[in-house]
Chain A
């Protein structure tokens, strides 16, 4: 009886090699809900392939909540000042939409390319590694132009399209 009981008890312990274990242990729940779009981000704007402008331009941005009515809003500005690039977004149902605008001076990207933009961006929010909301695959409809740092608007190309893209990635 003792041997049978011991055998039964041993079998009940299961183990990696046990053919009939106790079932999968519950996995920890993964929070996929994007948090607020606040803090430091890297905005990357890529012209539509049909524009043949090549490459993309990235700028560090600082985002903050901006209003709640009629929809919650987000305002993102170029971090550290400089020529303005302003992003005004509404945030609804884990997605954002709104205007990306520069003045006539454009805004200098981190690789020395100057960006001019007047476009409406939209895209789903996803949860970044640190829990904030970010845009991993956004679309831009409107005007995008590139130029040399001190050159005129569009000296490296300009294009109207509904197929430009952008990302707004959370950064530390």
Chain B
């Protein structure tokens, strides 16, 4: 009855789906709308700017600015599974997606939607077992493999820099938050976090690892980054004063680990020909203009760094 009432009262729910996800998601919106008793009009288009739509569905990397800036409601965001990088709208899109790697598909309500109640009902129905099964078949959802974890996290900050502009505008400027195991949490709503340091435009923290990382099979160092898939650049050295060698440049940092709020990205010392690293310099790879940011978490948001191979 309530679904019927919603359908009568609300105008058609406007859903925008990122072109890369459209082959899987557009057919689903029709089914979900029917299940929820809602009139849904869905179209494939870039999610940002959202215009007059009520719900956006896209890779979390594409929703970074909407969610961080509060134009999409973080509290309503639901994960829809990991989309393969191969679903691309164009050659350019395919290149960008390949660079970012597989990402979580996310749906969220746009702030100020005139169909907020219907939007939330729609988002709830997206999470039903039936809807998720349909998406999984299309996405070939996969949980990233978790290398054997060892409790060797960053021990101390030996150097850092965040631009003055970012220090004045960001809300999370304490570099010490990058020390220790991942402990960042969202306290509810956009830009309300604890346990992370936002690097601002091109800032960095240099961390002494609790245990030196040794180059062995697979990734050797894991960085935990909190909001969406903001990219991270990593350099490593055997000494605190360097020289620091580039390990990975602007690596999207948005993979998920069950039970950990922050996302992560992995780095392999072998890619730079390094056999050992005791210090890592973690640098913002988002590099978004500070004065244009408009959030309290500009730049990559670093929660922790972990030695995977020692």
Question: How far does the alpha carbon of A102 sit from the alpha carbon of B202 in the complex, in Å?
Answer: 12
Query: Interface-forming stretch among A42-50, A63-71, A127-135?
Result: A63-71
> Is the CB–CB distance between B164 and A162 below 8 Å?
no
> Is the CB–CB distance between B289 and A160 below 8 Å?
no
> Is the CB–CB distance between A67 and B286 below 8 Å?
no
User: Which residue of the partner chain B has the closest CB to A152?
Assistant: B92
Please pick, from A75, A84, A103, A118, the residue contacting B163 in the complex, using a CB distance under 8 A.
A75
B172-208 at interface with A (beta carbon < 8 Å): 200-203
Question: How far does the alpha carbon of A88 sit from the alpha carbon of B204 in the complex, in Å?
Answer: 12
> Is the CB–CB distance between A84 and B250 below 8 Å?
no
> Is the CB–CB distance between B161 and A90 below 8 Å?
yes
> Is the CB–CB distance between B202 and A98 below 8 Å?
yes
Question: How far does the alpha carbon of A4 sit from the alpha carbon of B148 in the complex, in Å?
Answer: 98
For the complex, is B283 an interface residue (Cβ under 8 Å from A)?
yes
| A contact residues around B161 at 8 Å (CB) | 70-71, 90
| A contact residues around B289 at 8 Å (CB) | 84-86, 101-103
> Is the CB–CB distance between A98 and B292 below 8 Å?
no
The interface residues of chain A, by DSSP majority, are classed as strand
For the complex, is A120 an interface residue (Cβ under 8 Å from B)?
yes
> Is the CB–CB distance between B202 and A101 below 8 Å?
yes
The interface residues of chain B, by DSSP majority, are classed as mixed
Question: How far does the alpha carbon of A86 sit from the alpha carbon of B284 in the complex, in Å?
Answer: 15
> Is the CB–CB distance between A162 and B249 below 8 Å?
yes
> Is the CB–CB distance between A160 and B201 below 8 Å?
no
> Is the CB–CB distance between B246 and A162 below 8 Å?
yes
> Is the CB–CB distance between A160 and B250 below 8 Å?
yes
User: Which residue of the partner chain A has the closest CB to B231?
Assistant: A118
> Is the CB–CB distance between A66 and B202 below 8 Å?
no
A33-60 at interface with B (beta carbon < 8 Å): none
| B contact residues around A100 at 8 Å (CB) | 202, 287
> Is the CB–CB distance between A142 and B291 below 8 Å?
no
Binding site for A on B (CB under 8 A): 48, 92, 99, 160-161, 163-167, 200-203, 233, 246, 249-250, 283-292
A-B CB proximity, top 8 nearest: A99-B202, A67-B164, A88-B163, A86-B289, A118-B287, A101-B287, A99-B287, A99-B201
